[in-house]
A and B are shown apart, each in its own frame.
Chain A
Amino acid sequence: MEVTLLVEATENAFRILGKAREHAIGVLDTAVQLTAEETRFFEEKRGQLLFTGAQRRKTRFQNFVGTTFILFAFWILLSGKFDAFHLTLGAMCCVLVAYLFHDLLFANVRVGDMRIVVARFIAYIPWLIQQIVLSNFHVAFLVLRRKMPIDPQIIEYKTKLETDISTVALANSITLTPGTITMDIKDGVFYVHALDQKVAEDLNAGEMEDRVAHIFMEADHLYVQDVLDAARIYGSLRV
């Protein structure tokens, strides 16, 4: 009785596995097709743009316009005067500065992602403030006790972040949290000075890093790229 049940269960499991395999093959086939189409489309487009040399000029123009608008918003925030004379002065200054420094503000940034990055960054700030307050109390208790049970140490922290802007965001978040200071970044390894064991463990848990990666869409990006790579490999194997 039990043996028949077991056999039945095994058969069921095999059937489910087979279905899953079919599904997976279907999904991967679609992915292969999509990848091929996308690659072809992008290569055609890039070929056209490279042919005319327009890609670089277009990025430069986008950078110029974006920088001008951000700087003009900053000017209005500073000035707070809305008469025509001061607004014209501000517009002239912003266009001049954007012309001189258009390559500084947006280096290595994909333009379409900017809105999501800004929204996620704003959502990240309250969590950071909460972390800062919590570890502030922790460090205050440590320091104000009579024995002062601190245990200073330098920990090496390997990061998975890729771009320099996300690395800098993580480093500054670590420095802003009391008790930890980023001393140096070399080849993707953070050298962090931690005040005691608990703070170091909090850092090694890696929640902050995950959140920063989420802001700059590195985790999502890697995930999508992994699927596409797998689809490509699968396609070449099948053919």
Chain B
Amino acid sequence: MTRDSHDVIVKTLARLLMPFMVVFALYVVMHGHHSPGGGFQGGVILAAGFVLLVISHGLEQTRKRMSEKVAEIISSIGVLIYGGIGVLCLILGGNYLDYGTLSKLLRVTPAEARSLGILGVEIGVALAVMAVMCTVFFAIFTAGESSQDDRSVK
């Protein structure tokens, strides 16, 4: 019952839209090799979901789900997945990001190994893009407030 709040429409719609948006972003990431999309686009949609959450529910509610610290950790994890898969291929005797060599590790044919490797790399890219976008948006969103505070102090 949020009758007293005056942006009840945006709040309720954001609440209902958010889970579907995240699932859609994950679909864009996972089906990057069948339909348009991929890691970067999926990450941007994920970040847009968090932007919507910040706009509608405020910064405090969003920090419970995704704080600046968590965003930093996730961006590092994303880059680690991307680089890790590349270096793993290097160790297994191929070129950097040469997914075919992963077939020795995963015990599948080289073609399937390429598909799985690309999927892993795209998940890494999506995580990194999402976290960095969130960090940038948080920085912009809080910078206005803090500078206003500075002005009022002066």
Contact = CB atoms under 8 A, between A and B. Distances in A.
Interface of A: 67, 71, 74-75, 78-79, 81, 86, 89-90, 93-94, 97-98, 100-101, 104-105, 107-108, 162-165, 167-168, 171-172, 182, 184-188
Contact of A79 (B4, B19, B31): B31
B12 interface: yes
Contacts of A107: 15
Interface stretch (B22-30, B92-100, B143-151): B22-30
Contact of B6 (A89, A100, A172, A184): A184
7 contacts: A71-B20, A74-B20, A78-B24, A90-B27, A104-B16, A168-B8, A184-B6
B138 to A, nearest CB: 18
A162 to B, nearest CB: 7
Given A78-B27, A108-B1, A182-B9, A71 B19 contact: yes
B152 interface: no
B3 interface: yes
Contacts of A187: 3-4
B73 interface: no
A97 B23 contact: yes
A182 B13 CA distance: 15
Interface in B97-119: none
A164 B1 contact: yes
Contacts of B34: 81
A165 B20 contact: no
A108 B4 CA distance: 16
Interface of B: 1-4, 6, 8-9, 11-13, 15-16, 18-20, 22-24, 26-27, 30-31, 34, 65
B23 A104 contact: no
Contacts of A101: 18-19, 22
A91 B100 CA distance: 27
Given A90-B30, A97-B22, A165-B12, 17 more contacts: A67-B19, A71-B20, A74-B20, A79-B27, A93-B27, A97-B19, A97-B26, A100-B22, A104-B15, A104-B18, A104-B19, A105-B16, A105-B19, A164-B8, A167-B8, A168-B12, A187-B4
Contacts of A86: 30-31
Contacts of B15: 104-105, 107
Given A164-B8, A172-B9, A75 B23 contact: yes
A93 B65 contact: no
A95 to B, nearest CB: 11
B6 A186 contact: yes
Contacts of A184: 6
Contact of A75 (B2, B11, B27): B27
A90 B29 CA distance: 11
Contacts of B3: 162, 164, 167, 187-188
Nearest to B116: A85
Contact of B23 (A94, A167, A182): A94
